[in-house]
């Protein structure tokens, strides 16, 4: 196998992302459709499912409401070498003072510096957590990393290859109703999870949040797509609210690791749901 082909075959996420699905791929395999030609992911985040499935589809439409995240993917797609150059500069300058100086630069206009800033902050902030305040400004403190890998050139180049035949849009999840139209489309929803308790209130990464009525609107979107014969899959928390919303569809439990918690003793395995509009493959 040539080096170029190896690079093409091994894309993976270039961002840390809360709720990322990289560690769940083995459990998810039996829930992916046997065949599809066009892939849709309206809550893009770190993109682990896309990078895993992109080799099996002809086209992909990737979307997110987070403008800064969408900008990063577009820059990786369009000019990864220029982005790598900027990240190498961030790598060389990184320190506590530099981190907070970059975090305060909320008014950057050019796409490439904005993308490099987000990746830099993502690689150096606490827990790799993306969070915005009500003004839409990134507000996560610096993490305690001795030598963070800010510029992962190999992974970025692999991602750039994988993203070449994709459409990347900044839009709400309901846009998929206009994009997915045939049985050869596969839609995967990975929304902010519904809280499973009164103290579990982290429901969004940006200033817009994601409330119960948004979950209900998402279910309506899921159901509409399913009625069209489109293959749909969704991840969410294992709670009565979500189980009731998707009663009548195929609901499966998986075991995931809970990573976002300031108390390390409260991290560990937790049940999550995978919901599909079609039966899972036999084990």
State residue 8's pLDDT score: 47
Distance CA 227, CA 277 (A): 9
State residue 259's pLDDT score: 56
Give, in order, the Cα–Cα distances in Å from 271 to each of 171, 207, 256: 30, 27, 6
State residue 129's pLDDT score: 82
State residue 137's pLDDT score: 83
How far is C-alpha 234 from the chain's CA centre? 13
State residue 130's pLDDT score: 82
Closest CA to 86 of 51, 129, 123, 47: 123
Q: For Cα atoms 148, 149, 150, give the angle at the middle one, nearest 5 degrees.
A: 100
Distance CA 5, CA 268 (A): 37
- The sign one gets for the Cα dihedral 77, 80, 83, 87 is positive
Q: Exposed, middle or buried by CB within 10 Å (0-12, 13-18, 19+), for 144?
A: exposed
State residue 190's pLDDT score: 97
Closest CA to 45 of 219, 275, 235, 201: 235
State residue 30's pLDDT score: 94
Q: What is the mean pLDDT of each run of 10 residues along the chain (283 residues)?
A: 43 90 92 96 96 95 95 98 98 96 92 97 89 83 91 97 96 97 96 78 55 96 97 97 97 81 56 96 73
Beta bridge partners of 160: none
State residue 7's pLDDT score: 42
Residues in the chain: 283
């Amino acid at each position: 196998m040539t080096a170029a082909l190896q690079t093409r075959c091994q894309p993976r996420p270039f961002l840390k992302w809360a709720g990322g699905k990289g560690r769940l791929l083995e459990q998810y395999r039996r829930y992916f459709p046997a065949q599809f030609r066009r892939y849709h992911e309206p809550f893009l985040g770190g993109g682990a499912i896309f990078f895993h499935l992109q080799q099996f589809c002809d086209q992909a439409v990737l979307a997110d409401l987070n403008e800064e995240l969408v900008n990063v993917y577009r820059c990786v797609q369009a000019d990864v070498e220029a982005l790598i150059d900027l990240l190498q500069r961030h790598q060389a300058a990184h320190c506590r003072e530099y981190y907070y100086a970059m975090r305060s630069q909320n008014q950057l206009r050019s796409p490439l510096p904005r993308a490099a800033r987000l990746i830099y902050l993502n690689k150096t902030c606490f827990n790799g957590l993306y969070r915005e305040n009500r003004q839409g400004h990134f507000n996560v403190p610096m993490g305690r990393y001795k030598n963070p890998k800010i510029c992962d050139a190999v992974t970025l180049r692999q991602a750039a290859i994988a993203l070449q035949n994709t459409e990347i849009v900044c839009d709400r999840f309901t846009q998929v109703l206009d994009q997915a139209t045939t049985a050869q489309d596969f839609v995967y929803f990975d929304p902010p999870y519904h809280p499973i308790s009164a103290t579990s209130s982290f429901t969004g990464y940006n200033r817009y949040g994601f409330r119960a009525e948004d979950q209900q609107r998402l279910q309506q979107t899921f159901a509409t797509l399913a009625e069209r014969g489109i293959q749909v899959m969704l991840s969410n928390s294992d709670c009565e609210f979500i189980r009731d919303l998707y009663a009548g569809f195929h609901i499966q439990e998986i075991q995931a690791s809970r990573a976002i918690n300031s108390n390390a003793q409260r991290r560990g395995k937790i049940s999550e749901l995978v919901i599909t509009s079609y039966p899972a493959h036999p084990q």
